[in-house]
């Protein structure tokens, strides 16, 4: 506890009040700069409950079913093989990195996507996977469950893009990233 005695001179009292006010203003300023403002375009990675999980997807324009298709625990491997490196490349493009969570047990939530361009009339063809560690998003993807499907990050595809263009641009990573999802199933 801090105790400070002041003689009742007006000058000391005013100086003390100004010092306390400056400290309060500095604290408020620093705390506001540490938290991203709602309108600065920052993406919230909070995923502590189902409401936050659904809100995470909506930041990118995705509409997903409210109930997950699957919730499972996985362990991020200590050493990444070729498949995990390819999957982590998708994560790095969205400013996430699974290397930071090597050896950690995380939850994977899988949802059906309702509004993927070109697949609106094909329910359950497109899924959204989200990896969560201690209430925060650490990775994930949007993928097709078709035989020659695709996988990419959370960004919503351009409206002009056809699903064929999406498949062509992701064809080079389809084989390895599809294997990554399969490997994510093994604890």
Shared-domain flag, residues 31 and 80:
no
> What are 82-86's contacts with CB under 8 Å, separation 24+?
82/176, 83/176, 83/177, 83/179, 83/180, 83/183, 84/180, 84/183, 86/173, 86/176, 86/177, 86/180
What pLDDT shows up at residue 184? 56
User: Are residues 63 and 124 part of one domain?
Assistant: yes
Structural domain of 65: 50-184
**pLDDT for 158:** 79
**Number of structural domains the chain divides into:** 2
118 and 157 in one domain? yes
Q: What is the pLDDT along the chain (187 residues), one digit of tens a residue?
A: 666 665 567 777 776 677 777 776 766 565 544 433 333 568 899 999 999 999 999 999 999 999 999 999 999 999 999 999 999 999 999 999 999 999 999 999 999 999 999 998 888 899 999 999 999 999 999 999 999 899 999 999 976 444 444 444 444 444 444 444 445 554 5
Q: Do residue 109 and residue 158 come from a single domain? A: yes
Compute the distance between CA of residue 159 and CA of residue 74 in angstroms, rounded to an integer: 34
Return the pLDDT at 31.
Answer: 52
pTM: 0.65
Ranges assigned E (strand) in the chain = 70-75, 105-112, 126-133, 136-144, 151-152
Residues 35 and 73 in one domain: no
Sign of the C-alpha dihedral computed for residues 53, 55, 61 and 62 taken in this order: positive
- The answer to whether residue 2 sits within a structural domain is no
118 and 144 share one domain: yes
Please indicate, yes or no, if residue 1 is contained in any of the structural domains. no
């Amino acid at each position: 506890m801090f105790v400070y005695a002041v003689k009742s001179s007006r000058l000391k009292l005013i100086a003390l009040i100004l010092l306390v006010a400056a400290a309060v203003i500095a604290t408020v300023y620093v705390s506001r700069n540490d938290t991203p403002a709602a309108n600065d375009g920052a993406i919230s990675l909070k995923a502590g409950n189902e409401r936050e999980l659904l809100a995470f997807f909506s930041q990118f324009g995705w509409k997903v079913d409210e109930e997950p298709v699957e919730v499972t625990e996985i362990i991020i491997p200590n050493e990444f093989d070729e498949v995990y490196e390819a999957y982590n490349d998708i994560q790095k493009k969205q400013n996430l990195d699974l290397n930071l969570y090597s050896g950690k047990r995380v939850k994977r939530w899988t949802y059906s996507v309702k509004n993927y361009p070109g697949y609106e009339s094909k329910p359950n063809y497109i899924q959204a996977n989200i990896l969560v560690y201690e209430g925060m998003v650490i990775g994930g993807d949007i993928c097709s469950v078709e035989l020659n499907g695709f996988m990419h990050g959370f960004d919503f595809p351009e409206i002009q893009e056809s699903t064929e263009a999406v498949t062509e641009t992701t064809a080079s990573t389809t084989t390895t990233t599809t294997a990554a999802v399969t490997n994510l199933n093994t604890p």
